[in-house]
Amino acid sequence: MVMSGKARAHTNIAIIKYWGKADDTYIIPMNNSISVALDRFYTETEVTFDESYDKDTLVLNGEPVNEKELKKISRFMDVVRDYSQQPLYAHIESENFVPTAAGLASSASAYAALAAACNHALSLNLSDKDLSRLARRGSGSASRSVFGGFVEWEKGHDDKTSFSHPIESDRWEDELSMIIVVINDKAKSVSSRSGMALTRETSRFYQYWLDHIEADIAEAKAAISDKDFQRLGEVIEANGLRMHATNLGAQPPFTYLAPESYQAMAIVHHCRTLGYPCYFTMDAGANVKILVQKEHQQAVVSELAKTFNDEQIILSDITRSGIEIIG
């Protein structure tokens, strides 16, 4: 019997970061995190289970992936097989919809789409909460990509209690957007998985991160509830910088930020002095993501365009749609 399903999931940008795991196997994080879902960046994945397959296969953007990638996906498919109590291998076709050459493909949308496609193909009837738990096993941030808008991932303390849920926002995200500044960083990259592990194990600043995270989460949620953009912006900027500071305290120290990242941050500060409120955040790479109210988006883009070229400046709305089944 052949069983198939196809799903779309949007990528998300953490505004309060997930940085460090309490449990590597189940991907239980050390702290809660909050994200927004991006309209323009998503993954579509089709999964087919068939008795005739003798291994999992994955075609990504039309090309078979290398052994290392396949192993990672197969480990996730083992979780699906375990969960669904059926032994079938799968063929997976996945496409990332991200602006060309931006290098912004994310494991968050990938694993959320794959989890949803498997749920559909195998008729598992998982609730969104359980889908979020399943997606989490592929990549922590994927647990947030099950939902649209503002999303909180509750760290919980085990597989059952660690999942994401939407944050009530009275559609405030419709008034906001993100500007992504693509920085061409040639430095050797450290994956978020290994970066957060090294930092958690060795950084003398990691405890400082943990000491502030609950207050940051509370502050961000209060700002969302009050639709207070300045209050939200101030906490997300501080939280993101604090995450990057933990990496400087690791043994050996490392950073994801490039000189151009600091240039973009300075432009954001300058825009604020000009009366255009906007705030930055960075993840496990040099790119700078700027949260802005739509009414000020063009003004901020004009300031950025004095330093960065058109291809480096990508705009995206924030979508309120979560996982969609598309086949």
Chain residues in the site for ligand DP6 (CB under 6 A): 14, 17-18, 27, 33, 107, 139-141, 192-193, 283-284
CB of 33 to ligand DP6, least distance (A): 5
Which residue's CB is nearer to ligand DP6, number 50 or number 201? 201
CB of 135 to ligand DP6, least distance (A): 10
Q: Does residue 293 contact residue 175 with C-beta atoms inside 8 Å?
A: yes
Q: CA-to-CA distance for 215 and 77, rounded, in angstroms?
A: 37
CB of 283 to ligand DP6, least distance (A): 4
Which residue's CB is nearer to ligand DP6, number 224 or number 301? 224
Which residue's CB is nearer to ligand DP6, number 48 or number 106? 106
Stated as kind and residue range, the H or E segment containing 83 is helix 67-84
Which residue's CB is nearer to ligand DP6, number 41 or number 276? 41
Which residue's CB is nearer to ligand DP6, number 48 or number 287? 287
User: Would you state the structure tokens that stand for residue 319, as one six-digit string?
Assistant: 């979508």
Burial 53-74 (b: 16+ CB within 10 A, else e): eeebbbebeeeebeeeebebbb
CB of 31 to ligand DP6, least distance (A): 9
Which residue's CB is nearer to ligand DP6, number 65 or number 299? 65
Stated as kind and residue range, the H or E segment containing 20 is none
CB of 204 to ligand DP6, least distance (A): 20
CB of 240 to ligand DP6, least distance (A): 9
The total number of residues written for the chain in this structure: 327
Nearest residue to 289 via CA among 150, 149, 174, 181:
181
User: Would you state the structure tokens that stand for residue 149, as one six-digit string?
Assistant: 């808008």
Q: CA-to-CA distance for 179 and 89, rounded, in angstroms?
A: 40
Q: Does residue 142 contact residue 112 with C-beta atoms inside 8 Å?
A: yes
Q: Does residue 152 contact residue 217 with C-beta atoms inside 8 Å?
A: yes
Stated as kind and residue range, the H or E segment containing 253 is none
Residues 6+ apart with CB under 8 A from 119: 5, 7, 125, 126, 131, 134
CB of 256 to ligand DP6, least distance (A): 8
Q: Is the bond preceding residue 277 a cis peptide, omega within 30 degrees?
A: no
Which residue's CB is nearer to ligand DP6, number 132 or number 192? 192
CB of 308 to ligand DP6, least distance (A): 22
Q: CA-to-CA distance for 289 and 3, rounded, in angstroms?
A: 39
Which residue's CB is nearer to ligand DP6, number 48 or number 96? 96
